[in-house]
Structures are given as structure tokens and as C-alpha cells.
A and B are shown apart, each in its own frame.
Chain A
């Protein structure tokens, strides 16, 4: 599975959009991009995933570049409860374990 690169931390003001970047320059054609988050040592929470089209659900939007070498997770209106470590993971469509890296520590401030 391809490796990902994320900034170690970022701050976001409450009510503003949070844009979380992820580089996955070695991604291959059958690998999906997944986003999870972990709030204060709780179990990771699934956010969204996609292959090449942009995706949106009730939690977030996922924007994948045309060459698929990078993506951005967008939290449209960050709240204090969105403070968490966000993990970007790429995984193939056959059996491939989720490999969690260091993620991005997002702190939402009032």
C-alpha cells in the first residue's frame, strides 16, 4: 500500500473550514484514499473514502487531485469537538491492512 505524508499539526478557528492535506504520490490505480480520525485515544472513527471522484457526506468532503497524488479533507464548519488526530490512509481494493501513520493533530480553537 502507498505511503502518505501529512503535516504533523494544524490549528483551525471554530466555525471556519478546516482543509487537511495529504500527499500520496506513489498511489496506484486500485488504491482508495481513506480518512479516519481519533479523538483523545478513543477508537478511530471513519470519516470518508474515495477512489478518484470527489466525495461528500454529512461529516466532510474529500477532494482528490486529477493525478490522484494528493487529496484534501475538508471539514466545512469546524467545531471544538473536531479536535482530533486525522489519518489519511491509502489501501488497495484487495485485502490490504489499514496502515496508520502519525496523522495530523488538528486543534480547533474558539
Chain B
């Protein structure tokens, strides 16, 4: 059973460009979470989605960032007009049921570098 998959693993963008990060949850998982890890810091929660619904986006920056988890296909984290401060590792996790008493399984991450 494949684990959580993220692509690309590494992404380089110039300031002002758009970054799209993809996450395919584990088979059968319908709950997806995105976290960001800045250099030398711990992971910070960004957003929690179920299929076609955003459940909690309290950790998302108010501007330029958006996330979706369509009925078909992977979850997408989109960053518009990237700035150097967006350089970080972005991790996706999934769980089988809701987050209550359910461990989240993490993907390998996407490392975004903004030049």
C-alpha cells in the first residue's frame, strides 16, 4: 500500500511566479492536511481538507495561498506570486477517518526554493 505521495519533491521558482504542490493521500484516506516547515523550525499546520471541502484553514496566510482537494485527483496547495519567505518544506499528511484519535501519515515533502 503506497504511502502519501507528494510531487514535485523539489521546486524552484523566481519571485512573482506561482507554485503548485500536489499531494496524493494514502489509498482510502479522504482527509488531507498541509504543514509548512521553515528552515530550522518545527512544522506549522496550514490547512485541513476533506474531499471538496476545507474544514480548517486557520494556519493559511491570508493572501496568495489556497488549497483544494477535488473529488477526483490529488490535493493541491497553490502559492501565487511567491516571495523568498515562502521558501520552506511543505508536508502533506492524510488520515483514514477524521482527525480524532487518528494518526496522520506524512509524505516526503516538497522543498520550495524561491530565488
Residues of A within 8 A of B (CB): 32, 34, 41-46, 49, 87, 91-103
Contact = CB atoms under 8 A, between A and B. Distances in A.
B93 to A, nearest CB: 8
Contacts of B48: 95, 97
A100 B98 contact: no
A98 B109 contact: no
Interface of B: 4, 33, 35, 37, 42-45, 48, 55-56, 58-59, 89, 91, 93, 98-101, 103-109
A43 B44 contact: no
Contacts, number: 58
Given A34-B103, A41-B109, A46-B104, 18 more contacts: A32-B101, A41-B37, A41-B89, A44-B43, A46-B106, A49-B101, A87-B42, A91-B99, A92-B100, A93-B100, A95-B98, A95-B100, A97-B45, A97-B58, A98-B33, A98-B45, A98-B104, A100-B43
